[in-house]
Amino acid sequence: MEKTAGKRTVHSSQRQGAAKFLALPLIIWLAVFVIVPLFLVCCYGFTAEGADGTLHFSFENFARFTEPIYVKIMVRSLKIALISTVICLVLGYPAAYIMSRSSSKIRTLIILLILMPMWMNFMLRIHAWLTLLENGGLINTLLAAMGLEKVEFLGSEGAVVLGMVYNFLPFMIMSIYMVLLKLDNSLLEAAYDLGATPVQRFIKIIIPFSVPGILSGISMVFVPSVTTFAISQYFSNGTVRLIGDTIEKQFGAANNWNFGAAISIVVMVIVMLSMFAINKVDDGDIGERKMII
C-alpha cells in the first residue's frame, strides 16, 4: 500500500512538473507581450512632465480626460458601439439560427460566405466599401447614370456604424452559431410532445440556451467597436471622432504618450467592467438553466 501511494505521489509530482514546463512558453509570452506593455502604459499614464522637464507621478492626464470634449467623444464612442452591437445581434441571431438548423452542405456554404471576407486584409475590406460608397464610387455612378442625384453616404455616424457592422458581424454570427449547434434536438421534440408551439419552443428553449453565445458575441463586437479608429477615420472622413481616434492621435501626431496612455487606461477599465458585467449575467443565466433542468 505504502509503495503504491509513493508511486502515485511520484507520478503526480512528475505530471505537475511537466505541466509547469509546458506552461512556461505561455508565461513568457504573457510577460513580454501583456504584462510589460501594460506596465509601460501605466507608467506613462500616471506620470507627467514637470517644469524642469523631469517626469513625476501625477493624475494630471486623467483630470484632463474629464474635459467636456473628451467626455463627449467617449459617450459618442459608447453610443456607436452599442448601436453597432445591437444591429449585429438583430442580424446575426437569425443567420446563426438558420445555419444551425440547415443541412451540413448548406451550413458549410453559408459559413464559407461569412468567413471569406475575413480572410482578406482589414484595410482592403474598408477600401472596397469606400469604392462603393464614396461620392465618385460605384453606387453614385450608377445613380448618376440613371439620372438620379448622388447620395452622400460617407461622413456620418451612420456610415461608421455600417463599417462596424460589416466588419464585426461575423464574430456575432459565429459565437451564437457555435452554441446553437450544440442544442439537443430531443429537448425541442419533448417540448413538441408536450404541446409547445414553435414560438414557445423558441422563447423557452432556444433563446435561453443561446444566451452564452449571445453574450460572447456582444463582447466580441462591443469591445473592438469602442476602440477602433480606422473605420471611423475612413467612413466618416475624419468628421466623426471616436475615442480610438483620440488615442491614436496622442501616440502619433500629438506625440503626447502620457495622455494617450491615460485614455487607454480609462478605456481598458470601462471594457473590463463591461466584460465583468457580461460574465456575471452569463453565470447567473447558467445557474437558472441548471435549476430549471
Q: What is the DSSP string of 164-226?
A: HHHHHHHHHHHHHHHHHTT--HHHHHHHHHTT--HHHHIIIIIHHHHHHHHHHHHHHHHHHHH
Residue 183, domain CATH: 1.10.3720.10
Per-residue pLDDT tens over the stretch 55-68: 788 888 899 988 99
Asked if residue 35 is part of any domain, the answer here is no
Total domains present in the chain: 1
Helix, strand, coil percentages, rounded to 5, for the chain? 80, 0, 20
**Contacting residues for 95 by C-beta, under 8 A, at least 6 apart:** 110, 114, 173, 177
Per-residue pLDDT tens over the stretch 25-73: 888 888 888 899 899 999 999 988 777 767 788 888 899 988 999 999 9
Asked if residue 51 is part of any domain, the answer here is no
Asked if residue 265 is part of any domain, the answer here is yes
What's the pLDDT at 172? Answer: 94
Contact 250, 257 (CB under 8 A): yes
What's the pLDDT at 20? Answer: 72
- How many Å apart are CA 37 and CA 105, to the nearest integer? 45
**Contacting residues for 181 by C-beta, under 8 A, at least 6 apart:** 100
Asked if residue 244 is part of any domain, the answer here is yes
- The residue type of 252 is G
Asked if residue 41 is part of any domain, the answer here is no
Asked if residue 44 is part of any domain, the answer here is no
φ/ψ of 103, rounded to 5, equals -70, 165
- How many Å apart are CA 279 and CA 273, to the nearest integer? 10
Q: What H or E segment, with its residue span, contains residue 139?
A: helix 138-145
Low-confidence ranges of the chain (pLDDT < 50): 1, 287-288, 290-293
Please compute, for residue 291, the number of CA atoms within 13 A of its CA located in the half-sphere on the CB side.
6
Between CA 239 and CA 76, with CA 273 as vertex, the angle to 5 degrees is 15
Q: Range of 191's domain?
A: 67-292
Contact 114, 174 (CB under 8 A): yes
Asked if residue 21 is part of any domain, the answer here is no
In DSSP terms, 47 is beta-bridged to: 57
Per-residue pLDDT tens over the stretch 118-138: 888 888 888 888 888 888 778
Per the listing, cell 456604424 goes with 161
CA–centroid distance for 112 within its chain:
21
| Alpha carbon distances (Å) from 143 to 89, 235, 237 | 31, 20, 22
What's the pLDDT at 8? Answer: 54
Asked if residue 193 is part of any domain, the answer here is yes
How many residues belong to the chain? 293
